[in-house]
Structure 1
Amino acid sequence: MDVRTFWLAGRPATGDSQLTVTNPHDGRDVGRYSVPTEAQVEEAVAAAHAVAGQAAALPAHVRAEALAHVSRRIAERADEIAQLITAENGKPIFWARGEVTRAIATFRFAAEETRRWSGGVQRLDTEPAAAGRLAYVTRLPYGPVLAITPFNFPLNLVAHKVAPAIAVGAPVIVKPAPATPLTSLLLGEILAETDLPAGMFSVLPVENERASVLVLDPRLPVVSFTGSAPVGYAIADQIPRKHVTLELGGNAAAVVLSDADLDWAAQRVALFSNYQAGQSCIAVQRVIVEQPVYDAFVERLLPAVDGLVTGDPADEKTQVGPLVSVHAAERVEEWVKEAVDGGARVLAGGTREGTTYAPTVLADVPPDAKVLREEVFGPVMVVQPAADIDEAYAMVNASRYGLQAGVFTRSLDAAFRANRELEVGGVIIGDVPSYRADQMPYGGVKDSGIGREGLHSAMTDYTYEKVMVLTGLSL
C-alpha cells in the first residue's frame, strides 16, 4: 500500500512513522500516511511565519486564481475525492458527492470574494477640525491561521478554513482529524499545483495529543477549531491572547407548528436526523411539535424513518451509513439505554450492529437524559409535544447550545418571531436546521461557539481593521 506524503510548506514530505486509516463500515485498510516529526512541525510553523508578509501582499488576482484553480481541480477529480471520503469517513457516497459539490462552490465563492475584498473611504470633515481629511479603511490578516478540522466533513469543513485564509493572504496550517486525514492530504496535493508561495500552506496529520504545540505557538496568532465544546473551550483557555474561532456543535431543534405541511416536515426531519448517521452538528436531534398535530406528525414520521436505506456507504442507494468508529456507536447505544432506563419509549430503531446504529426515534424522554441535553452526534431524535408556540420556542431555548433551529410554518408572524426569540445563530423557516448555504454566515451562540464561517464572514474573522488618514485634501 502506498504511503501518502503530508504537505510541509507547500511541498510533499515524509516523517519517520506511519499510520493507517481504516474504513468504518468493514474495517478494511483505506490508506497509509506519513506522520510529521517534531522538527518538521517546527519547520512548517517557521515557514508560515516567514512568508506572512509576502502572503498578505499578494495581489488579489493571484489569490483569486489559486482558489479558482482549486475549485476547478476538485471538480475534475470529484468522483475520486467522493470515493475517498466514503472510504475513510463511512459517509454514504450520495452524501460524499454532495460534500464535494459544496467544496467546489466554497472555493469558487472564495475566489469571487477575493476579487471583491477591498477597502473603503470615510470623510472626516464632518467637523471643522478635520477639514481636508479622509480615512482609508482596509482589513489586514492577523497572520498565519491554525485550522483544526473535524472528521465529519473532511473536505468541505477544511475548505471553510483554508479558502478564506488564502483569500485574505494568510498562511494556513491544517491539522486534520486523525480519523480522516487522507482527504485533507489530497486537497494539499491540489493546493501544491497553484502559484502560492512556499510556506503559504501545510497539511500536518499529527495526533491530537501533539496539537498543543501548534495551538500554543505564538507565530500562529489565529486558531480556527471545529469540534466538541470541551476540547474547543480547553483550546481557548490555553491561548487567551490569540484570536480564536470555535464551532462547537449543538443539539439542533426542529419545530413543527400546527399550520405546517406535515408530510414535508416528516420527510425532511426523518432524513436530516439520520443523514451521515447523524454526525453533523446541525442534524435534527430534538423535534418539538405543537400538540394539535403531534399524533398526526408522528404517524407520518415513523414510516419515513423506517423507509431510510441503511447499509454499505459505497452503495448508491444507502442513505444512512456507519458511525465513524465502534466507540462512537457504543456511546450512542449507551445514551439511548440511559434514556430508556429513565422511562423513554423507543418508537423506531434503538439497535446497534458494529459501527452502525439504526435510525432511532424516542418519546417521553426524561429532561435530564443526555440524548436531550447533549449533542448525540448519532442517528437519534427525540420527539416532544408543545402546548403552543410559546412553549415550543421556550423548549428550543432550553439548551446550552444554540447553533441553528428549523421552524416548519406558513406564518410570517411565527417566522419573524422565531428569528427574534430563538437563541441560535441561524433560523431556517420551512425546513430542517440542517440547511447550510456555504456563502452564508454560519455559527452559533451559547455553547455552540464564537465567530462565523461562510466565506466573507470568515475573511472578516481572520483580519483586523486598519485606518490610514490622508491629510490636506480638497474634498
Structure 2
Amino acid sequence: MLQVPARIGGRPVSAAEWIEVRSPWDGAPVGRVPALTPAHVADACAAAAKVLERRDFPQHARAEVLERAAETLTERVEEFAVTIAREAGKPIVDARAEAARAADTFRFSAVEARKLSGELIPMDASRGGAGRLGFAVRHPAGVVAAITPFNFPLNLVAHKLGPAIAAGCPIVLKPAELTPISAIRLVDLLVEAGLPGDWISVVTGTGPETGTPLVEHPVPAVVSFTGSVPVGRRIQRIAAGKRVLLELGSNAPVIIEPGADLRRAVAAIRRGGFAYAGQVCISTQRVLAHRSVYDEVLGLLRETVATLRLGDPLDERTELGPMISAAAADRVADWLAAARAAGAEVTGGERQGPILTPAVVADPARHLDVYRQEVFGPVVTVTPYGEIGEAISMANDSEARLQAGVFTPDLAAALRAANELRFGGVLINDVPTFRADQQPYGGVGDAGNTREGPAYAINEMTELRFVSVSA
C-alpha cells in the first residue's frame, strides 16, 4: 500500500503506527499515513514558531507562490480529482469541480497577498492628534492551526492555507483522518511552487492524538476549524486565549413562493440536496413550500430525485456515490426510520451496499432529527407554509444558520426575506448550497463565528498595528 508521509518543519515524517485510508465505495486501499502523536504536534509547533521569527517571505513572494500553485493545480486537476474521488467517495465530476475551485481559491489568495495593506488615520481630525501622522498596518497574527473536514478535502484545505500564506502566517495543518492524502499532496504542490518547506507542517492522525494537542498547544495564535458543531464548540472551550475561527454546520432551508419557477427550483434542489450524498454543510435540507404549490413541489421532487444515478464515484455518469462511512449511513438510516415511525411519509432512504438512496420526507414533525438537526446525508424534507412571514419564521427556527435560499418572482418578498432571514447568506432564486470562493462565507448561531473567502479570512489572520509619527 502507498505510504504517504506527514511533514514537520520541511522534512517527511513517519510513525510507529499507520492509518489506512480506504475508499468508502469498495474499501479498496488508497494509501497509508502516519498516526502521529502529541510529541509530533509539539515538534510541528516548535518548527512553526521558528519560522515566525524570520522576515524572509515578503508579500510579493507569497503572492508568486500562490499564483504558481494555482497554475500547477489547474494543470493537475485530473490527478487531484481522482485522489478526491477515491478517498472521499465524491463523484469524479464533482471532484474535478472541487480541484478547479481550489486553484481559484489560491488565485484569490494571491490577489489579496498583493493588496494587503493598512489605512491612513486622519490624526488632525481631533485637536489632540494635530501635527501627527497616523496609520495602521496589518501584521500576521501568528501561527495558524488549521483543522479541516473530509467532505471537501482539497478546497477547504485551500481556504485555510491560501489566506494564511497571503497573511504571512506559518501553518500547522491537521487534515481529516479519513481524507488526508489530498491535503498532503496539496502541500507538496505548494512547496513545489516555492513555499519554503518549513513554512507548513502537516500532522496526520486522530483528533485526540493530533487535533486536541494542536489546539491546546501554546504556539498557535489562530485556530481555524471547519467541521461539526459539537467539535467546534469543544475547540472553542479548550483554545483559551487564541483567536478561534469556526465554520460549522446547518440544516439549510429554501423557501418556494407562489409564482416561482417550480421546475427550476426543483432542479436546483436536486443538485443542492444530493450533491456528494448531502455531505455538505450548506446542503439543501429543509424545503419550505407555499401551500398553493406544496403538492406540485413534492411530486416534482420525488420524480426528479428518482432519476439520480447512483454508483461508483469514478464512473463519469455517477451523480450520487457512497457516504463517507457505514456508520454515517447507518445514522441517517436510523433517523429516517424514526421519521417513518412518527408517521412521516418517506420516499427512498434505503441502504444499497455503501450507498444510502436519496430520500424525500413529506411534512415531518418539527422535533424529528431529519428536520431539526443537520442530516449530512442525502435527505430533503418538504414542509408547507401559509405566507412568507411564516416561512421566514420556520427558516429562522434553527440553532445553526449558514445560508438560506428563496425562490420568488416578487421583489418585495425577496427583499423582505433578505432583511429578515437571520443567516450568514441569503440567496434569491437559488438554493443555499451555492458558494463562490471569493464571497464572505459563514454563519450565525451554531453555524460559526467567522467569514471565509480569502479577503475575509486574511483579516481574521492578521492584526492591525497603529503607528503614530510626531514631527
TM-score normalized by the length of structure 1 = 0.97
Give SS of 2:218's match.
coil
Instruction: Tell me the distance in 1 between the aligned counterparts of 2:379 and 2:330.
Output: 13
Aligned twin of 1:246: 246
**Cross-structure match for 1:116:** 115
Secondary structure of residue in 1 paired with 2:192: coil
CA contact (8 A) 1:63 1:111 kept: yes
- Alpha-carbon contact 1:7-1:188 (below 8 Å) kept: no
Matching of residue 314 in structure 1 with residue 317 in structure 2 = no
CA contact (8 A) 2:298 2:362 kept: no
Q: Secondary structure of the equivalent of 1:199? A: helix
2:441 is matched with 442
Query: 1:51, 1:198 within 8 Å by CA — same for their partners in 2?
Result: no
Q: Does 1:378 align with 2:383?
A: no
Match of 2:164 in 1: 165
Write the deviation string for residues 378-399 of structure 1: whole angstroms up to 9, x where unpaired: 0001100010101111100111
Question: Partner of 2:75 in structure 1?
Answer: 76
Distance in 2 (alpha carbons) for counterparts of 1:128 and 1:326: 68
> Contact 1:44–1:199 at 8 Å: present in 2 too?
no
1:196 and 1:268 map into 2 onto residues whose CA distance is 39
Contact 2:191 2:197 in 1 (8 A): no
Q: Report the alpha carbon displacement of residue 38 of structure 1 after superposing the two structures with TM.
A: 4.0
Partner of 1:7, secondary structure, is strand
The range that moved more, 121-130 or 433-442, is: 121-130
Is the aligned partner of 1:188 residue 2:148? no
CA–CA distance in structure 1, aligned partners of residues 122 and 96 of structure 2: 49
Give the corresponding residue for 1:129.
128
Query: CA offsets per residue over residues 424-469 of structure 1, 9 Å max, x none?
Result: 1000111100000000100000110111110010000111211101
- Percent of aligned positions with the same letter in both sequences? 45
> Where do residues 148-297 of structure 1 align in structure 2 (5 Å cutoff)?
148-210=147-209, 211-297=211-297
Question: In structure 2, how many angstroms separate the alpha carbons of the residues matched to 1:37 and 1:235?
Answer: 18
TM-align CA RMSD = 1.2
Please say if residues 10 and 192 of structure 1, whose CA atoms lie closer than 8 Å, have aligned partners that are also in contact: no
2:21 aligns with 21
Distance 1:76 1:187 in 2: 13
Find out whether 1:407 has 2:406 as its counterpart. Answer: yes
CA contact (8 A) 2:170 2:199 kept: yes
Q: Unaligned stretches of 5+ in structure 1?
A: none
Q: Which amino acid aligns with 1:213?
A: P
8 Å Cα contact 1:362-1:380 kept in structure 2: yes
Instruction: Please state whether the residue corresponding to 1:382 is helix, strand or coil.
Output: strand
1:114-141 CA deviation, whole Å, 9 max, x = no partner? 1111122122112233222121111212
Q: Which amino acid aligns with 2:89?
A: G
Q: Deviations over 1:221-247 (max 9, x none)?
A: 111111111111011011231100111
SS at match of 1:202: strand
Letter in 2 for 1:344: A
SS of 1:315's equivalent? coil
Task: Name the aligned partner's letter for residue 453 of structure 1.
Answer: E
Deviations 1:243-283 (A, max 9, x none): 00111110000111112111100111122101100000000
Deviation for aligned residue 1:15? 2.3
Q: Distance in 1 between matches of 2:128 and 2:174?
A: 51
Amino acid at match of 1:423: R
Task: Quote how far apart the aligned CAs of 1:7 are.
Answer: 1.7
CA–CA distance in 1 between the matches of 2:158 and 2:385? 39
1:471 match: 470
Instruction: Tell me how far apart the structure 1 counterparts of residues 163 and 217 of structure 2 sit (CA, whole Å).
Output: 21
User: Following TM superposition, by how much is the alpha carbon of 1:352 offset from its aligned partner in structure 2, in angstroms?
Assistant: 1.0
CA distance in 1, matches of 2:272, 2:162: 27
Q: Tell me, yes or no, if the aligned pair for 1:92 and 1:276 is still in contact at 8 Å.
A: yes
Q: Does 1:139 align with 2:131?
A: no
Shift, 1:207, TM fit: 1.2
CA distance in 1: counterparts of 2:186 and 2:74, whole angstroms: 12
- 8 A contact 2:19–2:205 mirrored in 1: no
State the AA in 2 paired with 1:7.
Answer: R
Runs of 4+ in 1 over 6 A off after TM superposition: none
Q: Secondary structure at the match of 1:3?
A: coil
User: What is the identity, as a one-letter code, of the residue corresponding to 1:299?
Assistant: G
For 2:22 and 2:174, the matched residues in 1 are separated by 19
- Helix, strand or coil for the counterpart of 1:460? helix
Distance in 2, matches of 1:41 and 1:127, equals: 49
| Residues 49, 219 of structure 1: 8 Å contact kept | yes
Which residue is equivalent to 1:389?
388
* Cα pair 2:42 2:217 within 8 Å, conserved: no
What secondary structure does 1:173 align onto?
Answer: strand
Q: Does 1:87 align with 2:64?
A: no
**What SS class does the counterpart of residue 439 from structure 1 fall into?**
coil
- For residue 37 of structure 1, report the CA deviation from its aligned partner: 4.4
| Aligned position for 1:48 | 48
* Shift in Å, 1:288: 0.1
Gaps of 5+ in 2: none
Deviations 1:297-350, CA, capped at 9 Å, x for gaps: 22222211111111111110111110000000000000001111111101x212
Mapped partners of 1:83, 1:174: distance in 2: 22
**SS in structure 1 opposite 2:241?**
coil
Structure 1 CA distance for aligned equivalents of residues 240 and 38 of structure 2: 24
SS in 2 for 1:15: coil
Contact 1:287–1:384 under 8 Å retained in 2: yes
TM-score w.r.t. the length of structure 2 is 0.97
Following superposition, the deviation at residue 198 of structure 1 comes to: 4.2
> Which amino acid in the other structure matches residue 233 of structure 2?
Y
Q: Distance in 2 between matches of 1:392 and 1:374?
A: 18
Question: Aligned residue for 2:101?
Answer: 102
Q: Secondary structure at the match of 1:419?
A: helix
